[in-house]
Structure 1
Amino acid sequence: MNANDRTPADLLRSALASDPGRPLVTFYDDATGERVELSVATFANWVAKTANLLQGDLSAEPGDRAVLLLPAHWQTAVWLLACSSVGVVADVGGDPASADLVVSGPDSLDAARACSGERIALALRPLGGRFPQPPDGFADYAVEVPGQGDRFAPYAPVDPDEVALVVDGVELTGAEVVARSREDAGRLGRPGGGEGGVRVLSGLSYGTWDGLSAGLFAALAGGGSVVLCRNLERLGDGGLEKRVEDERVGVVRR
């Protein structure tokens, strides 16, 4: 964490400069058995590619609104930071009809069609796999993103005092997201994280600030890491305790 960080994208850049090899997001889907672990460097590479897709192919500009109709997932975390990198407002679970572009998972495609702008669909399959058949009216993220550049530079500087995130109807500037994330990281402390900060297991939805913070932003602000769990209720008896032990989790939020 750098005291000069003013946007979520700044937090990621500082993490990359500090320790690119440490784990940042470990994702489980307990409905499919999927497990994916992304280091800071790997996560930042996905963010750069997605930001290039946003700014280049989708012609997104600072102040544009991207509605994210996505669950708590590692690819959703990528989109949140990519939006911050470009200056696009990430509206989590907002109204697609009022959006400049929409990013949808497979379960919300019908609702996403209300957006008259660009539409991106994520299959949310293991290892970032593509749709067997691209949804009509959507670009398949898994097809579009691999060829994007590994480095990203915004056409215009991102203003930390402009709205960066909308969650549960509340608008937050980039600077406010950073401030809240730092406060939450301080409350979490460092149990189980050693010198690198706390390791948080989160089964919370990304539809609230608490879910976004526990599942991404507090880890970025505090030098920690996240074990992000989808369909956590599918774990059998003793499954959560074993995961906490195996993943060396210090804090559980569910």
Structure 2
Amino acid sequence: MNDTAAIPADFLRSALAADPGRPLLTYYDDATGERVELSVATLANWVAKTANLLQDDLGVQPGDRVALLLPAHWQTAAWLLACFAVGVTAAPGGDPTAADVVVSGPETLEAARACSGERIAMALRPLGGRFPAVPDGFADYAVEVPGQGDRFSPYAPVDPEADALALPDGSVLSGAQVVARAREEAAALGLGPGSRLLSGDGYGDWPGLATGLLAPLAAGGSVVLCRHLDRLGDAGLERRLEAERVTHQA
């Protein structure tokens, strides 16, 4: 269990220092057959690039809110951790009209247009592919992020007591509270270093965020994040549990 983290971004830093090459997040989309495996180092690279995009190009500052209109996806995990690293409030499923920046998948672009600030569109295509044509009024993440730096440092230290996560139920957690709750969830699930948790939950509430990312990170484990898991069937699920060496299932 990670007992030194003060803010959620510290979970990833600790994992990177301990073993950058180990698998951290394996993503499946059972509607498309997509599978992506990210090591600690690879996810950390995506997080650093996304954080640099937020801080330098989009100009966010502590206290700003980033609405994430995205499904449970490996790129959504990168956005969440980037927000934590910069020190802005991540709002999964948040109201675009109350956000300084909105990040939208292809199915929520119309809703995202209500944001008066910067708008980022995510195609969510395999291997992080681009939109065939950039949606009007948006910047394409897959175009903007590759040129960003591979290392990230916030302009000012992130305050553990500042707002970090705004949940759809209206509650807002500080960075310190996210850390504490992630540790509690990890303990409740029996996770520890080397644990591998399979989650088919979305990122639209705390339980889904905990099982799909934060609790495994807090424990020093890894996650197998599955979208459209209901399409896999019982036999397919058993094969995946075995193939991915899953130790815990949400």
TM-score normalised by the chain length of structure 2: 0.97
Tell me which of 200, 203, 208 is aligned to 2:205: 208
CA-to-aligned-CA distance 1:9-45 (integer Å, 9 cap, x gap): 1111011111111111000001111000001110000
- Check if 1:171 corresponds to 2:172: yes
Matches within 5 A, 1:219-230: 219-230=216-227
Partner AA of 1:84 in structure 2: F
1-side partners of 2:118 and 2:159: how far apart?
24
What is aligned with 1:15?
Answer: 15
What is aligned with 1:188?
Answer: 189
1-side partners of 2:3 and 2:185: how far apart?
16
Runs of 4+ in 1 over 6 A off after TM superposition: none
Partner AA of 1:14 in structure 2: S
CA-to-aligned-CA distance 1:94-129 (integer Å, 9 cap, x gap): 110111010000000000000000000100000000
2-side partners of 1:158 and 1:217: how far apart?
18
Structure 1 residue 186 displacement after superposition = 1.3
Matches within 5 A, 1:77-116: 77-116=77-116
Q: Unpaired segments of 5 or more residues in structure 2? A: none
State the SS of the aligned residue for 1:62.
coil
Instruction: Calculate the aligned-residue CA RMSD, in Å.
Output: 1.1
State the SS of the aligned residue for 2:233.
coil
* Contact map agreement 1:205 1:211 (CA 8 A) in 2: yes
Partner AA of 2:103 in structure 1: V
What is aligned with 2:142?
Answer: 142
Partner AA of 1:180 in structure 2: R
Q: Unpaired segments of 5 or more residues in structure 1? A: none
State the SS of the aligned residue for 1:60.
coil
- Check if 1:126 corresponds to 2:123: no
State the SS of the aligned residue for 2:172.
strand
What is aligned with 1:49?
Answer: 49
What is aligned with 1:60?
Answer: 60
- State how many pairs are aligned: 249
State the SS of the aligned residue for 1:135.
coil
- Check if 1:240 corresponds to 2:231: no
CA-to-aligned-CA distance 1:120-146 (integer Å, 9 cap, x gap): 010000000010010000000000000
Partner AA of 1:205 in structure 2: G
2-side partners of 1:236 and 1:90: how far apart?
33
* Contact map agreement 1:188 1:198 (CA 8 A) in 2: no
* Contact map agreement 2:163 2:173 (CA 8 A) in 1: yes
TM-score normalised by the chain length of structure 1: 0.96
* % identical aligned pairs: 72
CA-to-aligned-CA distance 1:202-225 (integer Å, 9 cap, x gap): 000101100000000001100100
2-side partners of 1:2 and 1:238: how far apart?
35
Tell me which of 194, 199, 204 is aligned to 1:197: 194
1-side partners of 2:233 and 2:130: how far apart?
29
2-side partners of 1:198 and 1:209: how far apart?
20
Structure 1 residue 188 displacement after superposition = 1.9
2-side partners of 1:173 and 1:237: how far apart?
39
